[in-house]
Amino acid sequence: MLTTGDLAPDFSIVGVVRAERDEFSLSETTDAGNHVVLFFYPADFSPVCTPEMCAIRDADFFEATPNVVPWAISGDSTYAHRTFADAYDLGFPLLSDTDHSVAAAYDVKYEEWEGHRGMVKRGVFLIDPDRRVRYAWRSDDAYVKPDLWPLRQALDEAIRGGSVAGDLDEAVSVPDYDTDELERIE
C-alpha cells in the first residue's frame, strides 16, 4: 500500500482540460517543479463524485498556491470527461485511466464493485516535485467523500513548511449536497 514518503508510481495517460485532449505525465509535471494532487474517483456524473469534483473546482487554495496541479482520475473515457467538465465548468484536468493501471499502481482499484469490474476507488495523493507521496488518503467505501482540510494542511507543509496562507478558521471539506442542487453550466 502506497503511504507517505513512498516514491509515487510514474504514469502517462490521456485526459482533457477545457475540452482539449492531451497527454499528462506525472514525472514531466513534477520534474518541472510542481506538486501534483491526484484525486481518484469512481465515475463522472455519479451522485458522490459530482459534488466532490465541484468542491475541488471551488477550493480556492489550488489557485492561491503556486506550482500545485490538481488532476482527477477515473476509468471514464475522454469523451465522458469532456461532457462532465463542460457540464460543471471543471477547469482542471480529468484523466482517463481506462485500463485501471494507474488506479492499481496507487492501490485504489476495486476488483468488483456493485457489479462493475475494475472500478476506481476514491483516493487522494499529494505528490511533491521529487515524486514523493506527501499525503495519502483512500477509502474502500465509494460513498465516503474526502475531507480537503488535511490535504490543505499537507500541501501547506510541503510548500511553505507550515505557514498557511489565507483564512483557515473553517475546515475545507467536500460539501454535502445533491447533484440536482449543483449549478450546471448550460
Which amino acids are annotated catalytic?
49
Per DSSP, the three-state class of 66 is coil
In Å, what is the CA distance from 55 to each residue of 31, 32, 60, 174? Answer: 28, 27, 10, 5
Distance between CA 46 and CA 100 in Å, rounded? 18
Residue 152 three-state SS = helix
How far apart, in whole angstroms, are the C-alpha atoms of residue 70 and residue 68?
7
Three-class DSSP category at 3: coil
Residue 63 in grid coordinates: 489557485
Alpha-carbon distances, residue 127 vs 14, 68, 95, 177 (angstroms):
19, 10, 16, 29
Q: Which residues of 45-71 are buried (b: 16+ CB within 10 A; e: fewer)?
A: ebebbbbbbbbbbebebbeebeebbbb
